[in-house]
Structure 1
Amino acid sequence: MSRPHQPEKPRAAPIFNPPPTPAHQNPIPSSSPAFATPAHPIRPFNAASVPTRGSILPILLPPATLRPLAFRTFTKKYSLTLTSSALQDLATFVGRHCGTGWREEGLAERVLEEVARSWKNRNGGVIVDGDGDSLKEILKSLEGSMNGGRIVASRELSRKNSLVLGSSQEVDVSHTRLGLRPQVLGREDSESSLGVSTLDMEDEEEDESLRSPRKWLKVIDAFEQPRLVYNVGKKHFDIETSKPSLLPQQSHKTQVFRNRYNLIYQRLLRNESFQTPTFGTSKVPSLIRQSSSFMTTQQSYKITPIANLLGRSGSNHMLLGLLTISPSGTLAINDLTGSIALDLTHAKPIPEDSAWFTPGMIVLVDGTYEEDDNSTGTLGGTGGVGGTIGGKFIGFFIGGPPCERRAVTLGVGGTNGEGDVTAGGGFGWVDFLGVGSERAVGSKMRKLEQRWIKHPARDEEGAGNGRIIVLGEVNLDQPHTLQALKKLLGIYASEPEEDTPMTFVFMGNFVQHAIMARGGSGGSIEYKEYFDALASTLSDYPTLLQAATFVFVPGDNDGWTSSFSAGAVTPLPRKGIPEMFTSRIKRAFAAANAEAEKERRGKTDGEAVWTSNPARLSLFGPTHEIVLFRDNMSGRLRRSAIKFSSKLEKDEDMGMSPVAEPSNVPEPTPGDETLSSDLHAARKLVKTILDQGYLSPFGMAIRPVLWDYTCSLQVYPLPTAMVLCDTEAPAFCVTYEGCHVMNPGSVVAPGRRGVAKWVEYNIRHKVGKVREALF
């Protein structure tokens, strides 16, 4: 708030000013003959001009004496919990700066009020801890505003504290666990936590720039995503504080498997099928569902560690472990306690032919342990827990770990997970993407979504600005690709400007072959010319460039990675396309925005974002999370999958549990006894990936990953939508456990002349559809 203008004092005319004092008559002589006398006389020191600072008498205030007042302020008024260390710091600060008047004059109450308000502004969580740096920074800032035991310029202090989190680049571990305030939500005049307390909708209406939904769209690069590790002891997520490296230590490879296993294990323990009932049953649990619903509800599964199989030959067990190929070439299963050979000769997948099983996946196996006659159940060659157990485990049934809905993971109630956070648990406080946690900003962001995303009319299905257009396999070295793009972009450019889609996603490979590794074919020069041709095509549709965000996701044939991989699989995640190849496209966007009308209110300029593979789109904070991933995964699954010799009988129900079966998946039309081959392949692929909760469920020799960046490959919690661009699989849109998975295929439909194909995703309804057009 600007201060009122004060009129200046009237000055005397220059003729009435006293004549300047000659240098030789200056009462303050020069310090040395070699230096001239100052032009203006040095004014004598005036003690009255220095602001006086009130003096207080510091005291030693015991924490127990301050506890009742701190409890009323922090707990009763602000719903915060003080730790003993925080109470000790507050008592020391109040005793030093408030002195003897801390109680009678109410000085301590004002200090505690300001500290609690500042803690809320920082969104530090419900526990005020004195061991971290947050409370110390608040007290240090408050110390400069204390005068005579009272707080001066409190509003300026609140403004300062409200911007600390948005400007800081380092995040405390407790902040990550309890939810961060997103940087895009920072407001200079906010005095309360934007994530926890209030979000004044009337104030947001005053900011015209926030009226555009694209202002709430954020593209999250895989190398910028928070690196979270599940803490088994504390049962929550911790942020990894060590600096990531492309060449880490060998122990980080073990940590990749450990984190994957712990995530799936804690997910299973929350599943109803793995919770011990209050009354037992004598029937041995199995992966086969019983015909009696009563028996199904009271039986529970129990996971046995591999090391506990010793001395229990002939007994039935259920194992959770990683499928691997042992050094001897046989199939084995590993967990955190040991490894054992696995015999799946008579195993049956559950449900039948509904998912892939390859080495590198974490699976559930139900079977019998048989000791080796020579090893007598000892650890073969290791002599301790963690080695290979003698004997083998004969599996009768094998299945993937049951998937968990996003609402259950975050502890959100209501329809489709759009209600408030429940008291039943979940990770609602965890900020998985660095845009704010569900508990902090979820409900407020949904209100903004309903306000700023245009709702299409019933007779205009698919219209509106709340759409994302996904194009897969945009091979710029094919002549038909640019023709298909012109037809596609022309369709959306002909729509009204207010109905322009929010985002266009272009997914590689942008060339058919790794031309940068082929030497005489032109290399990087030819590669850049392809993007220059794309820039020329985009320039023909300036209205789209002005009102939409274009996101480009690379493939394995794109630079620079393809220059040394020669088109083979590259380590995940991989960086985006270098700027030197995309400069012409950025100039096309700059030229289109320069031609736009300057008086446009509530709208933002279009932009081009070159991100990594995989990447994530966050819209309205944690309300919408969309995973973008380009990989021909179905072909790799077919090449490396385990083939089962036995088949299930048709009249046998082999469902694991209601949770494990595919739900919310398009069912066959009445009268059809079997699913179409394309829909079956889509369901099989989607169930495999989402049950694993991992984008690369293969061995590292088949699909290498960067060990320190595997957090970006985790699909936990389930996103609201996922784009899995796989050109070896048919184009589809399938919903599984509340997650809508889309595959746009190739933009030029293979085997069909003059047909362009893409996917249009409706943000409000969270559903996509495959569209086609002739060109």
Structure 2
Amino acid sequence: MKSTPSQAHLCQQLQLVLKKRRVSVQLDALNRLADFYVKNVENESLSAFASKISEFLSRCGSRNTIVSLQVAERIIEDILKVLNRKQSHPTRIIDSFREVPILSLGSESSTIYLKESTGLKVLDTPENMLEQYKIRYRLLLSRALESKKATSLGQGERLAIFHKELSSSLTPIQNLSSTDRLTANLFGILGKFEGNKYFIEDETGYIQLDLSEACSSDRIYTQGCIVLVRGEWNGQLFRVTNIEMPPLDASLSNIMEPKALCQVIDSEVDVHEKQQNHIMVIISEIWLDHDSVFNKLEKLFSSLQADDVCPDTVVLMGNFLSPSLNPDEDHLLHFNNGFQQLASLLHEYIPNEQCQVVIIPGPNDPGIKNILPRPPILESLLNPLRHLYKCSTAASNPVRIVCQNSNIIFYRDNIEKKLVPHSIFLLPNNLNRLREMIVQTLLDQGHLCPLPMDMQPVFWNHEQSLWLFPPPQFLVLGCGLESFQYTYGQTKCFGTAYPNLSNIDLKKLYKKKIEITVQKTL
């Protein structure tokens, strides 16, 4: 098999990755594996692909042999079985880095168009950050103006944002410089000067705000929020009388509906018709270095087995190590041993042929920390789980899961600890109301963490994976405000508490009517 220049480069990269795993491959087998990778699994990293090859050889007891073309065909057959099993599964996982489609500014300032994601990009530029702010600003502006209803965008189609309506309802900030006094409505992004002074900025300029007499709606206002303010300009300051967020408008519900979220292949339809309900178990803050966690997990899974309940999907959200773990200890060793024990427990109580396991990293888990979206946990750390449980996925944080035509977003972060301390206005002491305000703020802002770059660094090339356009049917927040349920607009939000040593949330998703029950099983 003769390889092209590009394939030759891929073969060289694959050979190097396999060599690090002490796997040797004959040339014809290497070309066959590289060709299969390009045609079937290019959406995952070479490292993940190499891990699957290494795992297969380990299971067959042929780790130290040279991979021949015949062995390569067996490896491909094994990988295809797993792929087919995942494709026929009623849930689909949308990777934040590779599958979330991207909205981009057109050559004209009034147009936004949809394009495919080009894959993982870590290097960012100031232009990337500016473009993301501009697009989200214009999407929320269209909400505020109740502009022309948007429909689902196809590839390359354009959405016009009509700024002609701006002059009749909102005042561009640059227009204030020509007058000493004016009552106006402004729309822009909140910012902060030194000395606890705030300003608002739109595409024409910025102006300092006087918020001392502002009446705010029940939301959490921080720097970086996009808001509508009403008040009076006195030539030096804009004295705000009312501040609010763009309302959650159903007219934009399909503006960013990617085909990956709404198209269902025929085989999946058959599964949905046969399977009238879908059981999803969601567990957060699983401290793998605590024996008590495993005892309680075993109690949960055994009770499910006793009731003849077989989950279709198990979502495991970090953190996977306790904060009390000694910094001098080997965290990776605890991680590896913990996942080995977890894999054995899952394998004992849940048939691995029928259940998909999704691993979502927490803020303190190994890997890139403090930057959103967070990449999946390293494949090598999950090898113990993958070895016993093939149908498992290391997911990004946040991650979208499509389940029977329902869009579910999972987000594990200490969001309340990020938003609440930076609130411009005093917040209520009522915990229930605070939870509702967090959900309303995220959905009104169309963003899972609407904070500026100095408070929450992001990969700007992938920042749109944090957006909530369109609002999902379900939003699962691993945020620590105890377990709660709250519906805002068309979105049902669920919060999972941590540390989750006393209760575990059992959530059942039904096809026709989705009901969610929270049970304290431990």
Q: TM-score range by the shorter chain?
A: 0.7 to 0.9
Unmatched 5+ stretches in structure 1: 1-165, 171-208, 274-299, 372-390, 411-425, 455-464, 563-569, 591-606, 648-675, 750-754
Shift of 1:490: 1.6
Shift of 1:268: 2.4
| Corresponding position of 1:589 | 389
Alignment match of 2:244 (pick from 399, 405, 411): 399
Structure 2 counterparts to residues 223-622 of structure 1, below 5 A: 223-231=97-105, 233=108, 235-239=111-115, 245-270=121-146, 302-326=169-193, 329-350=196-217, 354-371=218-235, 391-405=236-250, 408-410=251-253, 427=255, 431-432=257-258, 434-436=260-262, 451-454=273-276, 465-496=277-308, 499-513=309-323, 518=327, 520-543=328-351, 545-562=352-369, 570-590=370-390, 607-620=391-404
Conservation of the 8 A alpha-carbon contact between 1:211 and 1:452: no
> Relative to 1, partners in 2 of residues 1:433 and 1:723: Cα closer, same or farther, differing over 3 Å?
farther
Take 1:399 and 1:730, find their aligned partners in 2: how far apart are those partners? 27
Q: Which amino acid aligns with 1:346?
A: E
> Relative to 1, partners in 2 of residues 1:360 and 1:344: Cα closer, same or farther, differing over 3 Å?
same
Take 1:716 and 1:511, find their aligned partners in 2: how far apart are those partners? 33
> Relative to 1, partners in 2 of residues 1:493 and 1:726: Cα closer, same or farther, differing over 3 Å?
same
| Matched residue SS, 1:237 | strand
CA deviation map 1:315-334 (0-9, x unaligned): 21111111111256521111
Farther-moved stretch of structure 1 (520-529 vs 633-642):
520-529
Q: Which amino acid aligns with 2:490?
A: G
Take 2:41 and 2:349, find their aligned partners in 1: how far apart are those partners? 39
Shift of 1:267: 2.4
Unmatched 5+ stretches in structure 2: 1-38, 44-82, 150-166
Alignment match of 1:682 (pick from 435, 443, 462): 435
| Corresponding position of 1:696 | 449
Shift of 1:467: 2.2
Q: Which amino acid aligns with 1:690?
A: L
Shift of 1:257: 1.1
Take 2:140 and 2:492, find their aligned partners in 1: how far apart are those partners? 21
CA deviation map 1:341-366 (0-9, x unaligned): 1110001112xxx2111111111111
Conservation of the 8 A alpha-carbon contact between 2:89 and 2:271: no
| Matched residue SS, 1:572 | coil
Q: Which amino acid aligns with 2:361?
A: P
Conservation of the 8 A alpha-carbon contact between 1:508 and 1:558: yes
> Relative to 1, partners in 2 of residues 1:396 and 1:644: Cα closer, same or farther, differing over 3 Å?
farther
> Relative to 1, partners in 2 of residues 1:616 and 1:452: Cα closer, same or farther, differing over 3 Å?
same
Shift of 1:489: 1.4
| Matched residue SS, 1:474 | coil
Pairs aligned (count): 425
Take 2:307 and 2:41, find their aligned partners in 1: how far apart are those partners? 42
| Corresponding position of 1:297 | none
> Relative to 1, partners in 2 of residues 1:366 and 1:230: Cα closer, same or farther, differing over 3 Å?
farther
Shift of 1:433: 5.6
Return the structure number with greater relative CO, CA threshold 8 A, min gap 6: 2
Conservation of the 8 A alpha-carbon contact between 2:199 and 2:207: yes
| Corresponding position of 2:463 | 710
Shift of 1:526: 2.7
| Matched residue SS, 1:682 | helix
CA deviation map 1:437-491 (0-9, x unaligned): 6xxx69x99976762332xxxxxxxxxx412211111122223211221122122
Which structure has the bigger radius of gyration?
A: 1
Take 1:168 and 1:635, find their aligned partners in 2: how far apart are those partners? 38
> Relative to 1, partners in 2 of residues 1:703 and 1:719: Cα closer, same or farther, differing over 3 Å?
same
Farther-moved stretch of structure 1 (220-229 vs 627-636):
220-229
Conservation of the 8 A alpha-carbon contact between 2:88 and 2:267: no
| Matched residue SS, 2:518 | strand
> Relative to 1, partners in 2 of residues 1:356 and 1:315: Cα closer, same or farther, differing over 3 Å?
same
Shift of 1:538: 2.1
Take 2:430 and 2:257, find their aligned partners in 1: how far apart are those partners? 39
| TM-score of the two chains, using structure 2 as the length reference | 0.74
| Matched residue SS, 2:321 | coil
| Matched residue SS, 1:530 | helix
Take 2:240 and 2:316, find their aligned partners in 1: how far apart are those partners? 44
Structure 2 counterparts to residues 108-123 of structure 1, below 5 A: none
Q: What is the Cα-based RMSD across aligned positions, in Å?
A: 3.3
Q: Which amino acid aligns with 1:612?
A: S
Shift of 1:222: 0.8
Shift of 1:709: 0.5
